[in-house]
Amino acid sequence: MRLYILGICGTFMGGIARLARQLEFTVGGCDAQVYPPMSTQLAELDVELHEGYAAEQMLRFGPDLVIIGNALSRGNPCVEAVLNNDLPYTSGAQWLAERVLQRRWVLAVSGTHGKTTTASLLAWILDHAGLEPGFLIGGVPENFGHSARLGSGPAFVVEADEYDTAFFDKRSKFVHYHPRTLVLNNLEFDHADIFKDLDEIKTQFHHLVRTVPGRGCLIVNGEDANLAEVMGMGYWSDVIYFAADSAIIDIGKSTWLGIPRAADCSRFDISNGAGRSWQADWRLVGRHNMLNALAAIAAAHHAGVSPGAAVAALPGFASVKRRLELIGDVRGIKVYDDFAHHPTAIKETLAALRARVDGSRIVCLLEPRSNSMRMGAHRESLAGSLAEADRVLIYRPESLQWDAESLNDDRTQVLDSVPDLIEQAIRITRRGDHIVIMSNGAFGGIHQRLLQRLRQDCKQPVA
């Protein structure tokens, strides 16, 4: 079968392409921009890549089926050609459900934050235990080097996104997956371009809960009040809670509790509420990542991995690309790439780094790129989320729909171009600083451009 993917260079759709090639489909696809590393990875898979959405190149490929990404809508030349030529089409989520997830033990990881890290860790724990799971993750787990694989075992780990499925299917993508094990990591308002309020998102999460069978299991963050409301709408499966707050231990014996042994949570104790405990040590930092670990361990336990075996896998977990990833150290100035784009994720990431670096200065370079950020849905909580940073430089793109100057204080500056932001970062940075670049996009190539400038001119300016 010849499969053509519209929007193929996104991590999810690129993962679909990888799975399709492992299933011996002939695969082609196009995207608005085709560039490394995804273009290189797809070329290595012998995927025929086209840049732009010219319908002619898709029609010449001769697809038997077209997968349409959720970023595409009516008016796109390829979408119009699919409809006008009566080509069979589907969404990535539906194709995954029908072609890959059937008869698999699906372990889905949902939540506003931490999906990629938790799903990657869960896949690593299952793999470390010899279960050879398949997975499709919205990032690149460093333990595996790519975002998807078919796997030879029954387990399949999928990052379960609440974003809508496609222009023709406005349900959240995760309702297609029908998991037996479902992680509900946390729940906040996001995707302001899709949902009008938090209640709409809660409804979608409850739709997901409805798809879990009675023999399945819900792994739920016991600290999250919004998830408590979702659970209050009804559930039909076993429930296991996890938390780092002992105040919720009265939920009962089905609670996994994390207790830090280090300020940065790189070492912590785990209790399963039934008198058993384990000591965990790993490379990651932050209370939020400790919670991610508890969720992954509980989910793996439901799939048959002992807690001891799961904890033993933690030291070998190498995290995920773009999650507080150290990308350079130039004469004592450390530069990190981080995907955080929601105030809570920004706050947790900076708090984790603060716990690790103590009194060293943190300089944050932020691109408000997500639709919710650009629309101003998070503007009231953004300033507070940056509290742990000593200096903040915010990029103001033309598409920003709110006044970023409202965030200005003694620590914060707003700049209108990436070159200006780089130059200001050079001026204010000194030896021993930690620079965190936060964006869910390429940020104008700022990462390597900044490192190059630091290498050229690493003077010690007065901050």
CA distance 160 to 137: 9
Task: Label the pairing between strands 434-438 and 333-338.
Answer: parallel
The pLDDT value recorded for residue 257 is: 92
Q: Is 269 helix (H, G, I), strand (E, B) or coil?
A: strand
Backbone phi, then psi, for 350, in 5-degree steps? -65, -35
Backbone phi, then psi, for 112, in 5-degree steps? -70, -35
Give the torsion through C-alpha atoms of 44, 50, 56, 59, to 10 deg. 30
Q: Give the residue from 80, 59, 67 showing the smallest Cα distance to 20.
A: 67
Average pLDDT value over all residues in the chain? 88
Chain length of the chain: 463
Which pair of structure tokens corresponds to residue 325?
């990833």
Residues 6+ apart with CB under 8 A from 358: none
Q: Give the residue from 68, 92, 73 showing the smallest Cα distance to 15.
A: 92
Q: Is 309 helix (H, G, I), strand (E, B) or coil?
A: helix
Q: 343: buried, middle or exposed (CB in 10 Å: 19+, 13-18, 0-12)? A: buried
Residue 24 region by backbone torsions, left for phi larger than 0, else alpha for psi between -120 and 50, else beta: left
- Which range has the worst mean pLDDT, 116-130, 146-160, 281-295? 281-295
pLDDT category at 8 given cuts 50, 70, 90 is very high
Is there a contact between 225 and 189 (Cβ–Cβ < 8 Å)? no
Is pLDDT above 90 for 43? no
Is pLDDT above 80 for 380? no
- Return the sign of the alpha-carbon dihedral for residues 347, 350, 355, 356: positive
Is there a contact between 17 and 8 (Cβ–Cβ < 8 Å)? yes
Q: Give 3's strand partners.
A: 27, 65
Is pLDDT above 50 for 213? yes
Task: Label the pairing between strands 255-260 and 267-271.
Answer: antiparallel
Structural domains in the chain, CATH included, are: 2-92 (3.40.50.720), 101-316 (3.40.1190.10), 325-456 (3.90.190.20)
CA distance 2 to 58: 11
The pLDDT value recorded for residue 248 is: 62
Which of 83-97, 257-271, 415-429 has the largest mean confidence? 83-97
- Which range has the worst mean pLDDT, 29-33, 157-161, 452-456? 452-456
- Quick: pLDDT tens for 264-304: 889 999 988 777 889 999 988 888 899 999 999 999 999 99
By percentage, how much of the chain surpasses pLDDT 90? 54
Q: Is 217 helix (H, G, I), strand (E, B) or coil?
A: strand
Backbone phi, then psi, for 97, in 5-degree steps? -65, -40
Is there a contact between 79 and 6 (Cβ–Cβ < 8 Å)? yes
Residue with tokens 């990833």: 325
Residue with tokens 């919720």: 248
CA distance 63 to 2: 5
Is pLDDT above 80 for 459? no
pLDDT category at 132 given cuts 50, 70, 90 is very high
- Quick: pLDDT tens for 222-276: 999 999 999 999 999 999 999 987 666 555 557 899 999 998 889 999 988 777 8
CA distance 19 to 23: 6
Which pair of structure tokens corresponds to residue 311?
């904890």
- Quick: pLDDT tens for 333-353: 889 898 777 787 888 888 888
Q: What is the largest CA-CA distance in the chain?
A: 65
The pLDDT value recorded for residue 367 is: 86
pTM of the model: 0.84
Give the torsion through C-alpha atoms of 241, 252, 244, 282, to 10 deg. -70
Residue with tokens 């204010």: 428
Bond before 88 cis per omega within 30 degrees = no
- Quick: pLDDT tens for 307-333: 999 999 999 998 777 777 888 888 888
Of all residues in the chain, what percent are helix, strand and coil, respectively (each to 5)? 35, 25, 40
CA distance 135 to 148: 5
The pLDDT value recorded for residue 456 is: 83
Residues 6+ apart with CB under 8 A from 288: 113, 114, 345, 348, 349, 352
Q: Average of pLDDT values for 373-377?
A: 66
Is pLDDT above 50 for 463? no
Residues 6+ apart with CB under 8 A from 293: 121, 258, 268, 280, 282, 284, 314
